A and B are shown apart, each in its own frame.
Chain A
Amino acid sequence: MISAADLAALDVPGPTVSALSAPFWEAADSGRLLVQHCKACDYAFLYPRRICPRCWSDDLNWREAAGRAILKTCSTIFKPGHPGWQPAAPYSIGIVALEEGPTLLTHLRVDPENLAADMQLRVVFMNIGGRTLPCFESAP
C-alpha cells in the first residue's frame, strides 16, 4: 500500500468545490465527516444537494457522521483511469454505507487481501495530492 507521504505527493485532480459543497470539504480539512440531513423527512444523504432527493424540501442542515461504515463493494486498481494515480497503483477504492445511511465512493486504506464484503470500516482523513479527503480503513 502506498505510504501516506507518497499519497500526499500525488499529482491528481482534487475536488471541484462549489459554494454548496464547501462545508463538506472544510469539515474534512478539520477531520470531521459531514452528511446532509433533511429536516422535513429526516433523511441523511450524500453528495450535497440544493434540495432533498427524497422529498424535495430545501430545509436542510449538516450533521456530523460517526465515521463508521460497512463496505458494499470494492476494487483494487492496477491500471488507473487517470495517469496521476499510476504511482499509487495498486490501490483500492470502494463504495461504503455510513451508519447514518448515505453511501459514498471512497479511497480504502486496507491491504487488498484483507478486503471483504460487509467488513466494518472507519473514516480516516488522508492527504491525497495536497487535499484532505475522507478515506476508510478497517475498524478494530
Chain B
Amino acid sequence: MRRSLGSIAGIGELPAQRETQGATTLGMIAEVARRAVADAGLEPAAIDGLLVGPQVGETPQHVPATVAEYLGLMPRMANVVDLGGASGAGMVWRAAAAISAGMCEAVLCVLANTREAMQVRSPNRNPIREFDVPFGASGANATYAMIKQAHMAAYGSRDVDFARIAVAARANAQRNPDAIFCGQPATIADVLASPMIASPLRLFEIVMRVAGGGAVVVVSPERARSLPHAPVHLLGAGEKVTHRALSQAPSLTSGPLKSAMAHALATAGIGAAELDLLSLYDCYTVMVAATIEDLGLCPPGRFGDWIADRDLGPEGDTPLNTHGGQLGFGQPDLAGGMTHLTEAVRQLRGTTPGRQIPNAGLALVTGNGATMSEATALVLGADA
C-alpha cells in the first residue's frame, strides 16, 4: 500500500459569482471555512492549524491572526501561503508536513475573494512594475499571450489545437451548476471567433474572473479514518519556483511544473498513465498544453495531436478538469487553484454529483502561479 503523507477529510466551495455586493473577504472565508469543517465532521474548536492566502481584502498584514480571530480560532500553527494559483495545492503539502512535524493536528486551508465592479489597482513597486508595466505589459493576458506565441513559433501548434482545450472545459462545465459557464457551452468555431485580447490569445482561452472560495481540511491518515467521509490521501507532492517576471523565465515553453510533477509522481510511486483524473491548473489554454507536455503525456510541442481524438469528460478515456476547469468554472482569484483540489477530492470519494468518474483511484492536481513561475503538484489517492 502506498504511504499517505496526510489526508483531506473535508472540502468546501462557494459557487462562482460574477460580482459580490458589499461582501467582505473575511465573510467569504468564514462561509467556505464553515462548509469545509462541517464536511469534515469536525467542530471548529478541533481546527488547530490555519493556512490562508496573502490577499485578504481587509488586511495587508497579520493575515493569519485576522482570519483566526474572525473565525474564533486559536491555532497552534498559522501561516500565509503566497504561491499565486499554486497556493491551494501548496497549502495541502504544508498542512500535511506541519501535522507530521507535530505542529498541529487539523489544518484548515482556505482561500476566498470578493469581486467588486471597480477593482483597486495594485500598489506594487516590484521589478515587474518598474521594468514591464511602463512598456505596456500590464496583467497576465500579455505574458500568457507571449507563452502561447512562443509555443506556436517553436512547434507550429495551431489555434485550433488550443481551442479544443477551451471547448473541453466548457463542455465539462455544463455538468457543474456552480460553474459560471454552466449553460454556455462553446464550439471550436466559437473560440476562434471570440475577440482577440492579446494575440494570439482570444477571449474564450482566458479565465473569467469571478468571486468565490474554496477550503479543505487536512488531518493525519489515522484521524481521517474516524471521520465521516472516505479519506483522500496525499500520496506525493512536488514544488518549484523559478522566476516572477516572464523576462527572467528559464524557458518559454516548459515550466516549473515539470519537475514538481515528476517529484510528486516519484514520491507516490506511480506513472502518469495510472492517473484517473488530471485536475490541471488552466488559467489559459496554453497552460494546459504546457502541463500535458511537461507531464510527458506527449512529446514537447505535440499536445495538439494528443488532444485531437481524446474525450476529456468524466466518462471519457482521459478525464481532465471534470468540474470545467477554471476556463469553465471561472477564476475566483487564488481560490481558482482550489477548484482543482476540491474536484479531485469529490471524484476520489466517488460522490461527484452528475459527473462521477467510474472507479476513480488516483488524481493529479496542479497549481500554477504568476507566469509559469510558481508550481505545486499533488498526487491524491482514494482510500485503499
Contact = CB atoms under 8 A, between A and B. Distances in A.
Interface string B144-166: 01110110011000000000000
A101 interface: no
Interface string A84-97: 01001011011100
Interface stretch (A32-40, A54-62, A69-77): A69-77
A90 B145 CA distance: 14
A128 interface: yes
B195 A93 contact: no
Nearest to B253: A73
A23 B137 CA distance: 23
A66 interface: no
Contacts of A16: 125, 129-130
Contact of B199 (A95, A104, A107, A112): A112
Which one of B150, B153, B195 has the highest number of Cβ atoms from chain A below 10 Å of its Cβ?
Answer: B153
B129 A12 contact: no
Nearest to B247: A105
B248 A77 contact: no
Contacts, number: 111
B142 A75 contact: yes
Contact of A104 (B133, B145, B200, B247): B247
Interface bracket on B:
35 or more
Contacts of A129: 134
Contacts of A12: 134, 136
Interface residues of chain B: helix, strand, loop or mixed (majority): helix
Contacts of A107: 135-136
Nearest to A13: B133
Interface residues of A, number: 40
A50 B206 CA distance: 36
A93 B139 CA distance: 13
Contact of A103 (B140, B196, B247): B247
B141 to A, nearest CB: 6
A95 to B, nearest CB: 5
Contacts of A73: 146-147, 149-150, 153, 252
Interface in B2-51: none
**What are the nearest 7 A-B pairs in CB distance?**
A81-B139, A81-B138, A75-B145, A117-B153, A82-B138, A73-B150, A107-B135
8 contacts: A13-B133, A47-B131, A75-B200, A78-B198, A81-B139, A93-B135, A95-B146, A117-B150
